Amino acid sequence: MFTQELQSKIDQVWLAFHSGGLSNPLSVIEQITFLLFIKQLDELQNRAEQEASITGELINPIYSEFDKGLRWSYFKNLSPEEMYKLFQKEGGVFDFMKAYGGKSSSFSKFMKNANFIIPTSRLLAQVVEMLDKIDMQDKDTKGDVYEYMLSKIATAGSNGQFRTPRHIIKMMVEMMQPKLDDIICDPSAGSCGFLVGAAEYIQKNYKQEILKPAIQKHYLNEMFLGMEFDPTMIRIGAMNLILHGIENPQLTDVDSLSQANSDFEDKASLILANPPFKGSLDKDSVDEKVIAMVDSKKTELLFLGLIIKGLKIGGRCAVIVPDGVLFGSSGAHKKIRKEIVENQTLEAVISMPSGVFKPYAGVSTAILIFTKTNAGGTEKVWFYDMKSDGYSLDDKRAVTKENDIPDAVARFLNRANETERVRTDQSFIVSKKEIADNSYDLSINKYKEVEYEQKVYAKPMDIISNIQKLDNERKEILDELKDLI
């Protein structure tokens, strides 16, 4: 459980990093993630050794007898100075972690330029002591710790990139219900939150099936596909997935929209994404097949084209978009909406409250859910007006009782029964024809009807009479007070 005490300890370590001269939040979380990963390697070895005590055979150990001094369980008991030297020396703890998986592994490739930059032995010892108290076997606690650290990336709102809250990821995953044969992709992976969310869903809902060798192989090596051009974020994402049991995630260090990613076509059966908003690119650098679908410089539109291109026929998508995508009047806006409605199967538009991404930004967003068919199929679209996500919609984002997410998930999964809902309800159905007649406008306010309650007020003379009566009573009380004095 992620307690207030644990949060306070993380805050203290964060302040210690800042005091020690390491103030870049992304660098801080990267260093902490390195340590979490090193701790996890030791615990994986412990688990293997426990199994070996039963079977009599230690299969594929992470640490050899020669490397045992590099294990977390060993160096955590050293003095700060000895521990620091063990991290810094050639072939030491950090080098061992970088080489994990062999030189040919994708993980080692991402770790090639990683550096250990914790500035002092005292800070290293302090962080190790704090992390040692976290139960890494408790996935919820581990996830909460990681989520809390990610929330500290104050620069996350730059260039339109916003960290997707964990509960929003969980909602989208539950709506899409990943399957064991899926290839799940996030073309703007960041810290791989969507891929981790999908992995947790699979682990929870297919506990027995996932143990079958063929399914296990697919799950560990092929199921999760991500793209990210920021080298620090792709390292964090890779370690995040491995910490959650995905041994060989298929992550690519590439700008998703560029010609270098042109082979991303008909690859994924499920895409979960929150692409960058409000970015602007040079069209000459964008994959020509994406430009052919949506002739624009706006990243939020280009990513929709990329998603359609990257999905297999029959592939599904849940993607977060800024509200402007839903009603923008430019040719590119209308073209991509028409593409999704006419040539694919648009299933749902879920409007989210503007505070979801606070404190980074107050941008209003929605989730588009559609299936790639290249042959149409949209008949009616389910709209949902989410008014609360379980947290206050200010910068504090405090937990509240009001939460529409359970209702939204339940209604989406049973949207065939929503046909009798009326436009004044929180969810309702809109026909494809009506959407087409409105220039493919997908904003919920275009179709939602508001009920106005008639209020009857007193007549002006009655109000004046009541005021005069109150004045007289006030005067009488004031006169009584004077007499008392």
Predicted pLDDT at 158? 44
Helices (H), 65-138: 72-75, 80-88, 93-98, 106-111, 121-132
What's the CA gap between 124 and 354, in Å, rounded? 39
* Backbone torsions φ then ψ of 298, nearest 5 degrees: -80, 125
Predicted pLDDT at 265? 96
The two structure tokens encoding residue 4? 């207030």
pTM for the predicted model, two decimal places: 0.84
pLDDT tens sequence for the chain (485 residues): 567 777 787 788 788 888 877 878 888 888 988 998 899 889 888 888 888 888 877 777 889 888 999 999 999 999 999 999 999 999 999 999 988 876 556 677 788 888 999 999 999 998 898 888 776 666 666 666 766 776 666 444 444 455 788 899 999 999 999 999 999 999 999 889 999 999 999 999 999 999 999 999 999 999 999 999 888 888 888 888 887 778 788 999 999 999 999 999 999 999 999 998 766 666 778 899 999 999 898 999 999 999 999 999 999 999 999 999 999 999 999 999 999 999 999 999 999 998 888 776 778 999 999 999 999 999 999 999 999 999 998 888 888 999 999 999 999 999 999 999 999 999 999 999 999 999 999 999 999 987 767 777 888 888 888 899 898 888 888 888 888 87
What's the CA gap between 282 and 298, in Å, rounded? 9
What's the CA gap between 84 and 32, in Å, rounded? 15
Helices (H), 151-287: 166-176, 193-205, 213-221, 231-243
4-142 classified as CATH 1.20.1260.30:
yes
Helices (H), 282-330: 288-293, 299-310, 323-327
Residues 6+ apart with CB under 8 A from 258: 285, 286, 287
For 62-97, letters b (16+ CB in 10 Å) and e give bbeeeeeebbbebbeebebeebbebbeeeebbbebb
Question: In sequence order, what are the beta bridge partners of 415?
Answer: none
What's the CA gap between 399 and 408, in Å, rounded? 18
Domain 156-446 in the same topology as domain 4-142: no
What's the CA gap between 209 and 213, in Å, rounded? 9
Domain ranges of the chain: 4-142, 156-446
Predicted pLDDT at 117? 93
What's the CA gap between 344 and 373, in Å, rounded? 5
What's the CA gap between 170 and 147, in Å, rounded? 13
* Class of the CATH-defined domain 156-446: alpha beta
Predicted pLDDT at 251? 92
Tokens 């209702």, located at residue: 407
Q: Is 83 helix (H, G, I), strand (E, B) or coil?
A: helix
Predicted pLDDT at 160? 44
Q: Is 367 helix (H, G, I), strand (E, B) or coil?
A: strand
Neighbouring CB atoms inside 10 A of 383's CB total 24
